[in-house]
């Protein structure tokens, strides 16, 4: 029996998104608070983890996980794993689900891209507007060879590790797009697309579902810039998924984002590692991993290689080790 938990972190009073998800009987919503969250935070149908409740769970991550950081969400993931989740859906408090919000099956036949294309701009398969996802290499933005042609998609059977649903209105794009264009986007409706080994695209933590076997890959690096956190997670995950027989899939928009206030220039500054490092990250992870290892072992090896590349710090490795110890204790 599938048990699906939705995990959010929030510093705001319950939002429209929180209220709508909480009313969906097929999901259990977990909200991880932070020091900036309202002291009286409460919503029906929600398991709310205050800072005190997070600490009381006894997870080792609490020793090192920063406060006032998106990574507090990881204590929500651990709560869901402990409660028996078989699927964890990752989203944010400003992503309002459409009615019937659901992800495709994790196994089946799907439209599949050609293998070994490197980075592809999946947004171009869902809209004709000139737009690209946050984390997409800037040198490819005008390169049509890295757009998937519909004629090249073939129906293939796949095991999906992560599903990334798109978001309408204010989708996940980088600060460059927002500063130079910022057109509101409502994506086309279409069947999901799956990326095979060697073909990849950045994915985020805003409308994302992961299967139980890959829960270790939910780790959100907490000692990189905020706007790099979930992008780095998604880049690291993809070669590890390939090594273990899983694929990344994208679906049409199933949420509407009413984005919380942002300073686009500050976002740009925070995104600089997204612009500089995607190819280095993929190369480092591919060097480090081995299909003979477990998912957790490969994740640890990947981050050790990223530390050698000075993309992450020793502090990141220390926090990752605590995360892996917590996950292992819950899944042994």
Contacts of 55 (CB under 8 A, 6+ apart): 62
Question: 121-156: per-residue pLDDT in tens?
Answer: 999 999 999 999 999 999 999 999 999 999 999 999
Q: What pLDDT score does 206 carry?
A: 94
Dihedral through CA 220, CA 325, CA 295, CA 235, nearest 10?
10
H helical segments located in 112-192: 175-180
Whole-number Cα distances in Å, 213 to 102, 199, 202: 20, 21, 21
Question: 87-98: per-residue pLDDT in tens?
Answer: 999 999 999 999
- pLDDT (tens, 9 = 90+) of the chain, 332 residues, equals 569 999 999 999 999 999 999 999 999 999 999 999 999 999 999 999 999 999 999 999 998 999 999 999 999 999 999 999 999 999 999 999 999 999 999 999 999 999 999 999 999 999 999 999 999 999 999 999 999 999 999 999 999 999 999 999 999 999 999 999 999 999 999 999 999 999 999 999 999 999 999 999 999 999 999 999 999 999 999 999 999 999 999 999 999 999 877 899 999 999 999 999 999 999 999 999 999 999 999 999 999 999 999 999 999 999 999 999 999 999 97
Pairing mode, strands 154-168 and 207-211: antiparallel
Dihedral through CA 132, CA 135, CA 141, CA 147, nearest 10?
-70
User: Which has the closest alpha carbon to 121: 145, 146, 139, 143?
Assistant: 146
Total Cβ atoms within 10 A of residue 129:
13
Cα gap 221→132, rounded to integer Å: 23
Q: What pLDDT score does 332 carry?
A: 79
Q: In the chain, helix, strand, coil percent, each to 5?
A: 40, 20, 40
Q: What pLDDT score does 187 carry?
A: 98
**Domain range for residue 325?**
4-331
Number of domains in the chain: 1
> Which run of H or E residues covers position 165?
strand 154-168
């Amino acid at each position: 029996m599938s048990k699906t938990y939705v995990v959010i972190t929030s510093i705001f009073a319950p939002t429209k998104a929180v209220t709508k998800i909480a009313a969906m009987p097929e999901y259990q919503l977990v909200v991880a608070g932070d020091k900036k969250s309202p002291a009286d935070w409460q919503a029906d149908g929600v398991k709310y983890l205050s800072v005190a409740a997070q600490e009381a769970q006894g997870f080792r991550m609490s020793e090192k996980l920063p406060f006032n950081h998106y990574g507090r969400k990881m204590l929500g993931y651990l709560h869901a794993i402990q409660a028996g989740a078989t699927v964890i859906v990752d989203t944010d408090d400003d992503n309002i689900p459409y009615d019937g919000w659901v992800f495709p099956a994790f196994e089946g036949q799907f439209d599949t891209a050609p293998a070994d294309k490197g980075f592809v701009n999946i947004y171009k398969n869902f809209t004709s507007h000139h737009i690209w996802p946050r984390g997409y290499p800037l040198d490819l933005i005008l390169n049509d060879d890295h757009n998937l042609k519909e004629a090249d998609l073939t129906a293939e059977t796949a095991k999906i590790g992560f599903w990334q649903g798109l978001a309408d209105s204010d989708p996940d794009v980088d600060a460059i797009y927002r500063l130079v264009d910022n057109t509101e986007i409502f994506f086309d409706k279409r069947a999901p697309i799956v990326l095979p080994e060697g073909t990849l695209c950045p994915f985020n933590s805003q409308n994302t579902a992961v299967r139980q076997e890959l829960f270790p890959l939910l780790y959100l690096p907490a000692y990189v810039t905020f706007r790099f956190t979930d992008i780095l997670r998604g880049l690291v995950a993809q070669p590890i998924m390939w090594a273990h027989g899983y694929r990344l899939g994208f679906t049409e928009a199933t949420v509407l984002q009413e984005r919380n206030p942002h300073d686009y220039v500050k976002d740009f500054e925070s995104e600089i590692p997204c612009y500089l490092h995607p190819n280095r990250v993929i190369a480092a992870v591919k060097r480090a991993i081995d299909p003979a290892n477990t998912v957790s072992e490969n994740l640890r090896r990947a981050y050790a290689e990223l530390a050698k590349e000075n993309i992450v710090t020793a502090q990141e490795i220390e926090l990752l080790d605590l995360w892996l110890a917590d996950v292992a204790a819950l899944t042994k």
